Structure 1
Amino acid sequence: MLLKNCFPVLLAFVVLTFVSCKKKKSDNPAPNVQEETLAFTLPDIQLGKYNIAMDSSYALKVNVTSKMPDAGVKVMLSVVTETGAIPLAQDPVPDTKAPQFTINLRHLKPLKTYEVTVWLSSLGNTANVTTHQVFYITNKSDQ
């Protein structure tokens, strides 16, 4: 009789012990670190205005003013003629992790004006893209 009265209590105690000592499963992965929104400046350029190149190439300085993403940034560049929107082929710009770098614009024809658009994208988060910065550049050489 004693066994019939104590057995349910003993069984409940054993079950509670196993349940409370059971290893907890970790469903929380490491928190996703949010990247700071990308921003950059073109220190030697007047945005939206006409700038001068003295020959067929121009060294365009870029300063990333936000925190640089760990994976680096991809640089996108578009150079088209101002009047006909005809693309001017440029050398590919390599991905970078440097907060300051230079883009070399090449093949600028004499006395011709080009619309240049530059923007950056994070390599670690494709949704982190800067706004497009647009300026015009004219090769003032006569050769």
Structure 2
Amino acid sequence: MPLKKYLSLFLIGALFALTACKKKKGGEDPVPSTQEEALKLELSGVVAGKANVAMDSTFTFQVKITSKMPEKGVRVTMNVVTDPAGIPLAQDAIPDATTGTINITLRHLKEVKTYKVTLTLASLGNTANITTPVEFLITNKSAG
């Protein structure tokens, strides 16, 4: 009988020791999530929501990021289609940006044709941080 008592006391003591030495799951500091200021932009050289004029088959404008630049930078997505038909016009890829001003050149604008340009910025460090799409129209008014 005394062996049973000692064995049960030993097991109870071991159980207390194991639970006391166990790490708390909730006690560790969680990795803080990346908090970024909501992306905001301004266009320079064109007016958003309006018809703009190009005098050649190429046209350069700027996107200025007015919010704090995300640590990892931003990705610019641009879609150019004919208006009103919606036929895509291929453009050069825009590299990811880490500065507050991005120069963009539209290419292959056909004479006397109007295009709808849609721009979106997305943070590379926080996939939920995306601007509202900005649109404008551009017409190549060159005479040939």
Band of TM-score, shorter chain: 0.7 to 0.9
Moved over 3 A (4+): 22-26
Identical counterparts, % of pairs: 52
- Paired with 1:62 and 1:33, the residues of 2 have a C-alpha distance of 24
Correspondence for 1:136: 137
Q: Which runs of 5+ in 1 are unaligned?
A: 1-14
Equivalent pair of 2:45/2:60 in contact (CA under 8 Å): no
Asked whether 1:101 is paired with 2:102, we answer: yes
Correspondence for 1:64: 65
Q: Which runs of 5+ in 2 are unaligned?
A: 1-15
Give the TM-score of the pair, scaled to structure 1: 0.81
Following superposition, the deviation at residue 142 of structure 1 comes to 1.5
Correspondence for 1:48: 49
Give the TM-score of the pair, scaled to structure 2: 0.80
Q: Secondary structure at the match of 1:42?
A: strand
- Paired with 1:24 and 1:116, the residues of 2 have a C-alpha distance of 56
Superposed CA offset, 1:97-135 (max 9, x none) = 010110110000001000000110000011110001000
Asked whether 1:36 is paired with 2:56, we answer: no
- Paired with 1:135 and 1:31, the residues of 2 have a C-alpha distance of 38
Correspondence for 1:73: 74
RMSD: 2.0
